[in-house]
Amino acid sequence: MAKVLVSGAGGYIGIPLCRKILEQGHELIALDRYFFGKQRLADIEANPKAKVVVDDIRSFDPGLLKGVEIVLDLAGLSNDASAEIDPQLTQSINCDGGRRLARIAKEAGVRRYIYSSSASVYGNGVQDQLKETDECRPLTLYAESKLRVEEELAKLNGSGFEPVIFRTSTVFGLAPRMRFDLAINVMTLRAWKERVVYIMGGGQQWRPFIHVNDVVRAFVMATEQPAEKVSGQTFNLGSDDMVFQIGQLAQFVLDVIPNVTVHRIPDDTDKRSYNVSFTKIRDQLGFISQTRVHEGVVEIKQALERGTIESDSPTQYTLQWYRSLLDWEARIKELSLNGKVL
């Protein structure tokens, strides 16, 4: 069993991934700033094999990496819109922070390093069935930041350091730090709550999708693979039968939640469209997604009906939450006198 560090441990993917790492019998360091709260990790904190560390990938003491064999890096501003709030912040967290973590991990002797990049790097894809070797045309700072870290990992590859890059599809499904800013999740919520589904940007844009549990399965699989199969490799993470046009998604939701009005909003600032090939991950690692969109919609609907997830928590909207944090910081600074607000 290994000592494993997960950064971004308090996030949508991070929490189920940490649980799985512990289930596998590993020792876990769950590192995060916990911008979305730490309360959902109570079970992880209670596990004697886990250490929950509140710190920043940009500045934490590299001593934390002593004895760590495997790092899974998920920390950062996690979507295109949040990365546009402040370009300097994106540079500092996603680029500089991501590269620093990789560098100090290698210096500390970490062997396997798994990085959560994004299929967003393809931007407005030049062609259908984009392969890992095809040109990336990032349209956003977020996608560029992912490519910068990918480049750093390519430089660090070797001498016992085994980076693995996943260009993850857009994720859906139920998780403790629920994200209702992701296409399938938000369509399900609106359909259930308001009986409306919005299709943005005309609905012709191609996107690959993957269930959060399949992402966790792939990440864990990457911790176990022999170096010759994964080291220094980039994989599109998803399945060929889970690539859809945004307009098609509405039907999945309507199949589960009927009597819903569909609104097509013709324009959208988000111009990304990429139709990605998942042949490499299937042929090289035998990975195929197990959970269908339909199942994701059903589990979210059921959780909303049972009240096991909230339908209006501000932390479920990544962009708005980060904006609120920055607003509060500015207000507190403005109101503070002698270091106190009141």
Among 4, 5, 6, 8, binds ligand NAD (CB under 6 A): 8
Half-sphere CA count of 48, side-chain side, radius 13 A: 0
Our CB check for ligand NAD shows the closer of 115 and 192 to be 115
**Distance between CA atoms of residues 338 and 246, nearest Å:** 52
**Distance between CA atoms of residues 334 and 224, nearest Å:** 50
Shortest spacing between CB 77 and ligand NAD, in angstroms: 6
By CB neighbour count within 10 A (0-12 exposed, 13-18 middle, 19+ buried), where does 320 fall?
middle
Q: By CB under 6 A, tell whether 152 contacts ligand NAD.
A: no
Residue nearest ligand NAD by beta-carbon distance = 11
Our CB check for ligand NAD shows the closer of 8 and 203 to be 8
Per-residue mark of binding to ligand NAD, 14-53 (x: CB under 6 A): x-----------------xxxxx-----------------
Q: By CB under 6 A, tell whether 244 contacts ligand NAD.
A: no
User: In the chain, what is the straight-line distance between the N-terminal and C-terminal CA atoms, in Å?
Assistant: 50
Residues 6+ apart with CB under 8 A from 334: none
Among 13, 22, 216, 220, binds ligand NAD (CB under 6 A): 13
In the region spanning residues 303 to 342, those forming contacts with ligand NAD, defined by CB under 6 A, are 318
Which among 123-131, 169-177, 199-207, 272-280 is the span making contact with ligand NAD, rule CB under 6 A? 169-177
Per-residue mark of binding to ligand NAD, 109-148 (x: CB under 6 A): -------x-x------------------------------
Which among 164-172, 241-249, 271-279, 334-342 is the span making contact with ligand NAD, rule CB under 6 A? 164-172
Q: How far is CA 341 from CA 46, 63, 157, 206, 285, in A?
A: 34, 35, 48, 48, 55
Among 4, 6, 11, 218, binds ligand NAD (CB under 6 A): 11
Q: Are 104 and 61 in contact (CB under 8 A)?
A: no
Q: By CB under 6 A, tell whether 150 contacts ligand NAD.
A: no
Q: How many helices (H) and strands (E) does the chain have?
A: 13, 12
Our CB check for ligand NAD shows the closer of 121 and 191 to be 121
Per-residue mark of binding to ligand NAD, 52-81 (x: CB under 6 A): ----xxx---------------xxx-x---
Our CB check for ligand NAD shows the closer of 57 and 297 to be 57
For 181, the 3-state DSSP assignment is coil
Shortest spacing between CB 166 and ligand NAD, in angstroms: 8
Going by C-alpha positions, the residue among 204, 182, 209 that lies closest to residue 266 is: 204
Q: Please name the amino acid found at residue 296.
A: G
For β-strands 243-245 and 206-211, DSSP reports them as antiparallel
**Distance between CA atoms of residues 68 and 60, nearest Å:** 15
Calculate the CA 213 to chain-centre distance: 12
The dihedrals phi and psi of 211, each to the nearest 5 degrees, come to: -75, 145
**Distance between CA atoms of residues 64 and 187, nearest Å:** 40
Q: By CB under 6 A, tell whether 168 contacts ligand NAD.
A: yes
Return residues touching ligand NAD (CB under 6 A): 7-8, 10-14, 32-36, 56-58, 74-76, 78, 93, 97, 116, 118, 168, 170-171, 177, 179, 182, 318
